[in-house]
Structure 1
């Protein structure tokens, strides 16, 4: 079991140079923006404008902070996304631009190379203990806000924007919030269904 602390995340320019992205985790380790199998990151969007394009990548986006955005994706109707709407998945290799609804936002991006990987993202708002199944593949649990304790041989505490990567032998985890907390459960697997 590994804990990734928010203070240790790596920041870098967007692929298109229009802002800054904060990388939470990437595989393989050390992969760049053009050769990852999967990548989980956050981005601060200060201005309306185009999104970076990633060839062969599928992407899921959620809003963590701010009023929200409207995505204009080639071939799709406009999509409004805020902190309470359903997460939105779309191909990252089509022309996409975003219009801010009411000022800057921070978003969560989960991206996988569609020739190799699949992903799902679930948002949980919890105020009581909850059991989270980790299943096959790789699971990440991001504490978006609030604080939680994860039961393990030694209990693990997650603060705002900390992320837990359970070990491969963890079938499920008991997560106990201090008060109300918002979690994102990110499940990653290869296209054959193996980890």
Structure 2
């Protein structure tokens, strides 16, 4: 189990140069934008325009801050996404553009290489202790707001935008909020035959 602190995340230009992305975690460690197996990041979107394309990648997007966006993805009807709508998954190699609804947003992007990995993303709003299920692979818990603790041999505390990264564990992780907290639970696993 590792704690990734928000102050230590790595910032870099978008693949298409249109903005800045903040990388939370990537595998393998140090992988670039063209050779990762999976990647979790946040991006500040300041204006409407095209998304970067990633060949062979599946992507899930959530709005963390701001009014939201409308995605135009080749082969899909327009999709409006805000902080309360369902998370949206789509192929990152499809031509995609976004129109801001009411000013800049911050989004969460989870991407996995289609031939090797798969992922799921769940948004939880908690005000009491909850056990978060883990499974074979990697589980990340991003604390969007609030403060949470995870009992362990050395108890762990997460503040806003900190992330807990856990490998496979035999039991779930007990998460205790200090008050109401919003979490994003990201589960990543290898496709059978690629582990």
Q: TM-score by structure 1 length?
A: 0.97
Structure 2 counterpart of 1:189: 189
For each residue in 1:172-192, what CA deviation from the matched residue of structure 2 results, as whole angstroms up to 9, or x when unmatched? 111011111000000000111
Describe how 1:139-178 pairs up with structure 2 within 5 A.
139-178=139-178
Q: Given that residues 136 and 194 in structure 1 are in contact (C-alpha distance below 8 angstroms), is that contact kept between their aligned partners in structure 2? A: no
Describe how 1:6-45 pairs up with structure 2 within 5 A.
6-45=6-45
Q: Given that residues 72 and 97 in structure 1 are in contact (C-alpha distance below 8 angstroms), is that contact kept between their aligned partners in structure 2? A: yes
- Structure 1 SS opposite 2:175: strand
Q: Given that residues 23 and 42 in structure 2 are in contact (C-alpha distance below 8 angstroms), is that contact kept between their aligned partners in structure 1? A: yes
CA distance in 2, matches of 1:115, 1:168: 21
Q: 1:144 to 1:122 in 2, by over 3 A?
A: same
Structure 1 counterpart of 2:57: 57
- Structure 1 SS opposite 2:7: helix
Once the two structures are TM-superposed, the CA of residue 153 in structure 1 deviates from its matched residue by 1.3
- Structure 1 SS opposite 2:16: coil
Correspondence 1:91 to 2:108:
no
Once the two structures are TM-superposed, the CA of residue 193 in structure 1 deviates from its matched residue by 7.6
Once the two structures are TM-superposed, the CA of residue 166 in structure 1 deviates from its matched residue by 2.0
Structure 2 counterpart of 1:137: 137
Structure 2 counterpart of 1:82: 82
CA distance in 2, matches of 1:20, 1:109: 13
Once the two structures are TM-superposed, the CA of residue 170 in structure 1 deviates from its matched residue by 4.9
Correspondence 1:70 to 2:35:
no
Q: Which runs of 5+ in 1 are unaligned?
A: none
Q: Given that residues 68 and 101 in structure 1 are in contact (C-alpha distance below 8 angstroms), is that contact kept between their aligned partners in structure 2? A: yes
- Structure 1 SS opposite 2:186: strand
CA distance in 1, matches of 2:170, 2:155: 14
CA RMSD of aligned residues (A): 1.1
Following TM superposition, where does structure 1 have runs of at least 4 consecutive aligned residues deviating by more than 6 angstroms?
Answer: none
Q: Given that residues 25 and 39 in structure 1 are in contact (C-alpha distance below 8 angstroms), is that contact kept between their aligned partners in structure 2? A: yes
For each residue in 1:11-58, what CA deviation from the matched residue of structure 2 results, as whole angstroms up to 9, or x when unmatched? 000000000000000000000000000000000000000000000000
Once the two structures are TM-superposed, the CA of residue 168 in structure 1 deviates from its matched residue by 3.1
Q: Given that residues 137 and 167 in structure 2 are in contact (C-alpha distance below 8 angstroms), is that contact kept between their aligned partners in structure 1? A: no
Once the two structures are TM-superposed, the CA of residue 152 in structure 1 deviates from its matched residue by 1.1
Q: TM-score by structure 2 length?
A: 0.97
Q: Given that residues 126 and 180 in structure 1 are in contact (C-alpha distance below 8 angstroms), is that contact kept between their aligned partners in structure 2? A: yes
